[in-house]
Amino acid sequence: MIALTMAEVAQAVGGAVVAPAGVDPHTLVVDGPVVTDSREAGPGGLYVARVGEQADGHDFVPDAVARGAVAVLATRAVDGVACVVVDDTQDAFAALAREVVRRSPDLQVIGITGSSGKTSTKDLLGTVLATAGPTVAPVGSYNSEVGVPLTVCRVAADTRYLVVEMGARGIGHVEYLTRMAPPRIGVVLNVGTAHVGEFGGRAAIATAKSELVAALPSDGLAVLNADDPAVRAMSAVTTARVVLVGEADDADVRAGDVVLDDGGRASFTVHTPSATRAVGLGLVGRHHVGNALSVIAVATELGMPLDAVCSALEAARPVSRWRMEVVERADGVTLVNDAYNANPDSMHAALTALARMGRGRRTWAVLGTMLELGPESETLHAQVGADVVDHGVGELLVVGEAAASLAVGARDALAAGRGTATAVRTVPDAGAAEALLREELRPGDVVLFKSSRDAGLRLLGDRLAQDEEELT
């Protein structure tokens, strides 16, 4: 974090200093990691003692101090420890993030939101911008009221670019995050069905995502998906300049001639107002084309030459775990682990990649439940099952009772004559899926693991990937 005295931290968050005798809050400097997990504390750092449903962060203050934390943000004083005491640690944490941004006037803040693809896009953007200057981007999917200030507080004196992933589970969430880290550039990727059960419909999702665009200053930039009507319409809620990206003819940053190679990696030609260039991505999945276009729009806005941006994109590889991770086992089995999260849109993207990678090979879709889909859950699961059939996947293995509608949808599609190639099976849990796959996988098979996190399929994919080490 940028260097702040304990007194400056207290002033920024509206807290009271409680310090042991001999500790001067005006000279005690916080310049190390700001953390909410005591195990991640380090020299010169600040530990934020949050109170959760299952644990009280105040109980872990001694551990944080032992690891080097010099101060604690807390709701009550802790004996012998320099504390900034506040009424609400979350409000104070948000205020601290705002102060970090305020004290970094040359910092370029880029916010990213959307129903899917946020993490992959922020990884891509962080990778590209890092070639131009010191960049801070979230770890994993740090996109919440806690994850965003954790990311912001990693900003140092020399940080040039701050990439902020902004998630939402309701109206007002994104707006709240933009107040912590006011963006000059905002990227909206799509409006899909992720969390539709919590929002109550796609219209509410669109409203929530548009909060990022509405928060942009008049001299800012809104990067909007031209291929998604709900995103395109967000140009009406901002005074910032709008750049449309996508495959639509009127997109300002447009992809043409999109093709997938045998590994499911996309190549395309990008057309910008000033230049054209061929791009070949190293990431698996056609959906990364749209992500890459957003990155190109942002990076060129920040002054990077198109050729440098595209070269960095081509060199980029997966950063966050369980997002189209590909493992080629020594026995010829290809594993595609995309089971960090799932919704109908990301399921479709993953199945499209599987179908391309599996040409001439036996393909497996090992699928689990998609959470937070609300009353439409069974219908949406059934539609994904039908999508498996439409993609010609050879084996559909449905894991868990909560995902049973996947099998129903696939069987209904087969009965309707939409395909003939898919064998549909169900198992009760990931353990049963593992036993079946260990028995039946053969050289040349391509296996996709896709579900929401709680289904455990990402860990199943990891266990089967470990076989590679045993075989080499």
Tens digits of residue pLDDT in 73-114: 999 999 999 999 999 999 999 999 999 999 999 999 999 999
- Model confidence at 472, pLDDT cuts 50, 70, 90, reads very low
* The pLDDT of residue 325 is above 70: yes
CATH fold label, 104-315: UDP-N-acetylmuramoyl-L-alanine:D-glutamate ligase (3.40.1190)
Cα–Cα distances (Å) from 386 to 364, 381, 390, 429, in that order, read 15, 9, 6, 21
Q: What is the pLDDT at residue 470?
A: 47
CATH fold label, 4-89: 3.40.1390
| 239-290 confidence digits (pLDDT tens) | 999 999 999 999 999 999 999 999 999 999 999 999 999 999 999 999 999 9
* The pLDDT of residue 310 is above 70: yes
Q: What is the pLDDT at residue 194?
A: 65
* The pLDDT of residue 61 is above 60: yes
- Model confidence at 318, pLDDT cuts 50, 70, 90, reads confident
Q: What is the pLDDT at residue 321?
A: 86
Q: What is the pLDDT at residue 169?
A: 84
* The pLDDT of residue 471 is above 60: no
Q: What is the pLDDT at residue 140?
A: 81
Q: What is the pLDDT at residue 454?
A: 81
- Model confidence at 195, pLDDT cuts 50, 70, 90, reads low
As a whole-number percent, the residues of the chain with pLDDT over 70 amount to 98
| 381-408 confidence digits (pLDDT tens) | 999 999 999 999 999 999 999 999 999 9
| 366-386 confidence digits (pLDDT tens) | 999 999 888 899 999 999 999
- Model confidence at 467, pLDDT cuts 50, 70, 90, reads low
- Model confidence at 201, pLDDT cuts 50, 70, 90, reads confident
Q: Average pLDDT for residues 231-244, to the nearest whole number?
A: 98
Q: Average pLDDT for residues 217-227, to the nearest whole number?
A: 98
* The pLDDT of residue 174 is above 90: yes
As a whole-number percent, the residues of the chain with pLDDT over 90 amount to 88
Q: What is the pLDDT at residue 197?
A: 64
Q: What is the pLDDT at residue 35?
A: 97
∠ CA 139-128-124, rounded to 5°:
50
Q: Do domains 104-315 and 325-471 have the same CATH topology?
A: no
What residue segments make up the domains of the chain, in order of their start?
Answer: 4-89, 104-315, 325-471
Question: Which CATH superfamily is 325-471 part of?
Answer: Mur ligase, C-terminal domain (3.90.190.20)
Q: Average pLDDT for residues 135-151, to the nearest whole number?
A: 93
Q: What is the pLDDT at residue 322?
A: 86
